[in-house]
Structure 1
Amino acid sequence: MELRQLVAEDASAYWELRLEALQNSPEAFSTSYEEAIQRENPIERVKGNLKVKGNYTFGAFDQHKLIGMVTLLQESSLKMKHRANIFAMYVSPIGRGKGIGKSLMELAIEQAKFSQEIEKINLSVVSSNEAAKNLYIQLGFNVFGIEEMALKVGETSYEELHMSLILK
C-alpha cells in the first residue's frame, strides 16, 4: 500500500475514483454523479485543483491503482486561514476494513499540523454512516452541530453531523 499526496499526473485516477464514489455512496457527497459527468474538462479541472496552494489531496494506492482519497482544503481568507475542511473522503469497497481511511485522515491531519497555520479542521458526515462517524470520533473530532435534511437523494433526506478537530 502506497500513501502519498496526489499530483497533476494522478488526475485521471482521481476522477475515476471520484465517479465511483458518487455512484457507490450518493448520500455521502453534495455533488451527484449526474452533475459530475456533465462537467467540461473534468480532468483538467482536477489537475488545476491539485496545484492550488492550501489544497492537499492524499491517495492510497494498491498496486498502482488509486483506491482511497481525502482532500484537506485550507480556507483562504485572512480571518479564516486557521481553518481547513475535509472533503471527498472515500475508500473503494475493496480497500475497506484495512485502516486505509484512518491512514488517509492521519496524513491530512499531519499536513494541517505541518502547515503551522491550520488550527482547526472541519468536516461533515451523514449521520447514518457509522464507520466514518466512528473513525472521526476515534481521531478526536467532536460534533458541533446537526443539520437535518442536509442532503436529499431521490425522495430520501439525510442528516449530517458537522464535526471539528482543534489542533492547537
Structure 2
Amino acid sequence: MEIRRIVPEDAEQYRRLRLDALKEHPEAFAVSYEEERAYPLDFFKERFSEDNATTFGAFDGEKLAGVVTLVREAKSKLSHRANIFAMYVAPEYRRAGVGKKLLAEAIRKAKQLEGVTHLYLSVTSTNLPAKKLYESIGFTTYGIDRHALKIGGQVFSEDLMSMTFPVE
C-alpha cells in the first residue's frame, strides 16, 4: 500500500471514492452526496492544488483505497492548528491498517508545518471503530457537539478530538 499526496490527475478516482463515502455514510460528513455530486471534476482538481490543504491517498497499485485531508488554519491567531477532514477507507480495505497509515502520513506532514502544535478532528460519536483508531494514535476527546449534523429529522453528535505535538 503506497501512501502519497493526491494530485490533480487523481481527481476522477478521488471523486468516485468520495461520492461512495457520502452515499454510504452520510452521517460522517458535513457535505451531502447531492451537494458534492454537483461539483465538476475541475473543482476536485483545483482542491489538490491548494497550498493550505493536503489530501493523502492510500493506493493499492493504481486503485485508491482511502483518503484523508490535512488543512492548516489560515488565520494568524489559529496558525498553530491544523485539522483532519474527509477521512475515509473503502470497505474492502478496512481493518487492514490503511486508516492508520493515512493518519500517520497526515500527522507527519502536520509536524513539518512550522509552528503547528495542535491537530484537530471530529468524528461521529457512534463511529466506534474510527474513534478507537484515533485514540490509538494519540487523539483525545475534549468535547462533544451534540447537534453537529442533522439529516432528515435525525440529529448526530460528534466527538471533538485533538492531539498536541511537543514543541521542538
TM-score (structure 1 length as normaliser): 0.95
Q: Which residue of 1 aligns with 2:155?
A: 157
In structure 1, C-alpha distance between the alignment counterparts of 2:114 and 2:134, rounded to whole Å: 22
**Which SS does the other structure have where 1:48 is aligned?**
helix
Q: Which residue of 2 aligns with 1:71?
A: 69
Q: Which residue of 2 aligns with 1:123?
A: 121
Q: Shift of the alpha carbon at 1:35?
A: 1.3
Q: Which residue of 2 aligns with 1:110?
A: 108
Q: Percent identity?
A: 46
**Which SS does the other structure have where 1:11 is aligned?**
helix
Q: Deviations over 1:6-40 (max 9, x none)?
A: 1111111111111010011111001110111123x
In structure 2, C-alpha distance between the alignment counterparts of 1:163 and 1:154, rounded to whole Å: 26
In structure 2, C-alpha distance between the alignment counterparts of 1:119 and 1:52, rounded to whole Å: 21
**Which SS does the other structure have where 1:35 is aligned?**
helix
In structure 2, C-alpha distance between the alignment counterparts of 1:76 and 1:162, rounded to whole Å: 20
Residues paired across the two proteins, number = 166
In structure 2, C-alpha distance between the alignment counterparts of 1:16 and 1:109, rounded to whole Å: 25
Unpaired segments ≥5 residues, structure 1: none
Q: Shift of the alpha carbon at 1:153?
A: 2.0
Q: Which residue of 1 aligns with 2:14?
A: 14
Q: Which residue of 1 aligns with 2:91?
A: 93
Unpaired segments ≥5 residues, structure 2: none
In structure 1, C-alpha distance between the alignment counterparts of 2:155 and 2:72, rounded to whole Å: 29
In structure 2, C-alpha distance between the alignment counterparts of 1:77 and 1:111, rounded to whole Å: 19
- 1:28 maps to 2:54: no
Paired letter, 1:51:
S
**Which SS does the other structure have where 1:128 is aligned?**
coil
Structure 1 outlier segments of 4+, above 4 Å: none
In structure 2, C-alpha distance between the alignment counterparts of 1:32 and 1:164, rounded to whole Å: 25
Q: Deviations over 1:69-119 (max 9, x none)?
A: 000000111111111111000000011010000100000000001123211
In structure 2, C-alpha distance between the alignment counterparts of 1:54 and 1:107, rounded to whole Å: 16
Q: Shift of the alpha carbon at 1:166?
A: 0.6
Between 1:152-161 and 1:76-85, the stretch displaced more is 152-161
Paired letter, 2:29:
F
TM-score (structure 2 length as normaliser): 0.95
Paired letter, 2:9:
E
In structure 1, C-alpha distance between the alignment counterparts of 2:34 and 2:42, rounded to whole Å: 19
Q: Deviations over 1:31-52 (max 9, x none)?
A: 110111123x2x2111111111
In structure 2, C-alpha distance between the alignment counterparts of 1:149 and 1:137, rounded to whole Å: 22
